[in-house]
Amino acid sequence: MNASDAPRRFTLEPFEARRFANLCGQFDEHLRQIENRLSITLRNRGNQFELLGDPARTQDAERLLRLLYRETEASELSPDMVHLFLQESGVEALANPQTETVTLRTRKGMIRPRGANQQGYVKSILEHDINFGIGPAGTGKTYLAVACAVDALEREQVRRILLVRPAVEAGEKLGFLPGDLSQKIDPYLRPLYDALYEMLGFEQVAKLIEKQVIEVAPLAYMRGRTLNNSFIILDESQNTTTEQMKMFLTRIGFGSTAVITGDITQVDLPRGTKSGLKHVIEVLRGVPGISFTHFNSRDVVRHPLVQRIVEAYDRFDARQEDAKGSEPGSGDA
């Protein structure tokens, strides 16, 4: 065995039986989760640990275990929490726990972005008037944008929150849904409502909507408006046309912040219609005052299988593109 592959040994102090049981989880499920995800061998006798495997990964594992052990002082760990902390393994935020992090204040508590990419996304939103969050489902794009909006409202930095979505069907037709237009578009706005309820509470959200401090609307209602002193979120923006995206961006007035989120791999527009999100990435690249944050499968904060699903689709799409490129006549004329 190479010297660099020597076992990594350390002790977690101070030893407290309750905290240590919290760290290990039921039947050591948290330790096994770390072991499997980092592809290392983890052994322990009480609070004395021995890690075997790639030196960089065992170093990350030690940092992660020390960080989780600190968390046990005030929090009850769960497999989901361990999964979220695992996503930070090996990144700068974990390697240096003292690095300044951004937290957002909501009525129901504080929200801390996970990992370097989410931290950078939130910092960009706080520093820029127009921000794009682009990436697959489950990366926190919409949730963190709503958290930033609620934080700004609580601090009285804006007077209102406007949540916008294009009413484009993913296989279903609006005409077949029951109710009037407001009721038909409500399912498309549900993820935004859910985030608001979690951060402010159901009754408070209902009051703010009644007072029009929070407005939830389809994109079609934005034409002709100018929005000042507002925090505006355009969700599912991959389903805007190029004309709709330009219309939305030119609605933004003084004292306002806009966040545009979307996943360019899940466009539900009619065939042959170019996505406004894909187009705007090309048009506004490099424009001062506008930020772009690109998420990938490593940023997924849902069930671990979601990350694997996203990666599998990415690999499949890459193979499809390679196959098209190798077809006869696909090269330049």
Domain span holding position 51: 3-95
pLDDT at 129 over 90: yes
For residue 307, name the pLDDT band (cuts at 50, 70, 90): low
* Pairwise pLDDT comparison (332 vs 168), residue with the higher score: 168
| Portion of the chain with pLDDT greater than 90, in percent | 40
Task: Select the highest-mean-pLDDT range: 87-91, 124-128, 163-167, 303-307.
Answer: 124-128
For residue 216, name the pLDDT band (cuts at 50, 70, 90): confident
pLDDT at 333 over 60: no
What is the residue type of 123? K
- For the domain that residue 40 is a member of, what is the CATH number? 3.30.1370.10
191, with CB counted inside 10 A (0-12, 13-18, 19+), is middle
- For the domain that residue 168 is a member of, what is the CATH number? 3.40.50.300
Write down which residue in 42, 69, 95 finishes a domain: 95
Residue 41 and residue 135 in one domain? no
CA distance 15 to 123: 37
Asked whether residue 287 is assigned to any structural domain, the reply reads: yes
- Given this model, what pLDDT does residue 277 score? 95
- Given this model, what pLDDT does residue 97 score? 47
Residue 170 and residue 309 in one domain? yes
Asked whether residue 204 is assigned to any structural domain, the reply reads: yes
Residue 130 and residue 278 in one domain? yes
Chain-centre distance for alpha carbon 198: 16
Residue 47 and residue 121 in one domain? no
Chain-centre distance for alpha carbon 4: 36
Asked whether residue 206 is assigned to any structural domain, the reply reads: yes
On whether the CB atoms of residues 151 and 103 are closer than 8 A, the answer is no
Asked whether residue 16 is assigned to any structural domain, the reply reads: yes
202, with CB counted inside 10 A (0-12, 13-18, 19+), is exposed
pLDDT at 185 over 80: no
Write down which residue in 73, 95, 117 finishes a domain: 95
* Pairwise pLDDT comparison (13 vs 85), residue with the higher score: 13
Asked whether residue 21 is assigned to any structural domain, the reply reads: yes
**Residue 44 pairs with which residues in a beta bridge?**
49
Q: Where is average pLDDT lowest: 74-78, 114-118, 278-282?
A: 114-118
- Given this model, what pLDDT does residue 173 score? 46
pLDDT at 181 over 60: no
Residue 28 and residue 139 in one domain? no
Asked whether residue 194 is assigned to any structural domain, the reply reads: yes
Residue 89 and residue 118 in one domain? no
- Given this model, what pLDDT does residue 193 score? 84
- Given this model, what pLDDT does residue 286 score? 85
Residue 287 and residue 145 in one domain? yes
Q: Where is average pLDDT lowest: 84-98, 149-163, 240-254?
A: 84-98
pLDDT at 100 over 50: yes
Sheet (strand 160-165) strand order: 214-218, 160-165, 230-234, 257-262, 130-134, 290-294
Rounded to the nearest integer, the mean pLDDT of the chain is 82
pLDDT at 304 over 90: no
Asked whether residue 33 is assigned to any structural domain, the reply reads: yes
For residue 187, name the pLDDT band (cuts at 50, 70, 90): low
Residue 25 and residue 112 in one domain? no
pLDDT digits (tens, 9 = 90+) for 72-93: 988 888 887 787 777 655 443 4
For residue 279, name the pLDDT band (cuts at 50, 70, 90): very high
Residue 22 and residue 70 in one domain? yes
Q: Average pLDDT for residues 256-281, to the nearest whole number? A: 92
- Given this model, what pLDDT does residue 306 score? 66
CA distance 130 to 212: 23
For residue 162, name the pLDDT band (cuts at 50, 70, 90): very high
Residue 38 and residue 76 in one domain? yes
On whether the CB atoms of residues 232 and 258 are closer than 8 A, the answer is yes
Residue 88 and residue 108 in one domain? no
Asked whether residue 327 is assigned to any structural domain, the reply reads: no
The model's pTM: 0.65
State both tokens at 35.
């072991």
- Given this model, what pLDDT does residue 165 score? 86
Q: Where is average pLDDT lowest: 62-71, 161-170, 214-223?
A: 161-170
CA distance 203 to 262: 29
- Given this model, what pLDDT does residue 3 score? 47
Write down which residue in 67, 95, 123 finishes a domain: 95
Number of domains in the chain: 2
Residue 199 and residue 224 in one domain? yes
